[in-house]
Amino acid sequence: YSIGMLEHVGYKNFEPFFACVKKLLKPDGLAVIHTIGEPDFVPASDPFLEKYIFPGAVIPALSKVMPAVENLFIVEDFQNFGYDYAKTLAAWSDNSKVFFKQNPNAYTPEFQRMWEYYLRMCEALFELRINQLWHFVLSPRPASRKGIARQL
């Protein structure tokens, strides 16, 4: 599994990253890649996110991910859960407010404001479909499996 890591790998490192994933998989194995994504490639991070949350992170676009994947893997499944992720961020924000109220000295007021801003900004980005949440299921090429079991 690669849970929420691809945006930290960097688009210039996608090819060696996916080569490593393939090398670590059994011939009939599956890789699940979970990442935030954007529909348009922007080779830099938001200034707020760069400074306070994820220095050096760049949210991937399919146009940068797929060239690194296409010769190594079969894309068995791809899903975008981005719109639903806005609800998750809203719940995290609500839960954080409760925590900060119950534990006022756990974090500085500055951190609490920054955290609220971060969660609400991301909620809006996902709700507006600017950010997306992707799951890729990949099997290594050449194919040694007939397919994958699916639940409907």
Q: Crossing angle of helices 14-24/62-69, nearest 10°?
A: 40
pLDDT band at 115 (very low <50, low <70, confident <90, very high): very high
pLDDT band at 2 (very low <50, low <70, confident <90, very high): low
Higher pLDDT, 142 or 79: 79
Verify whether residue 122 is a known catalytic residue.
Answer: yes
Peptide bond into 47 cis (omega under 30): no
Residue 50 has a pLDDT of 86
Q: Which among 6, 68, 86, 122 is annotated as catalytic?
A: 122
- pLDDT above 60 (res 66): yes
Residue 128 has a pLDDT of 94
Specify whether the CB–CB gap between 17 and 73 falls below 8 A.
no
| pTM attached to this predicted model | 0.83
Least Cα distance to 10 among 41, 40, 52 occurs for 41
Specify whether the CB–CB gap between 43 and 11 falls below 8 A.
yes
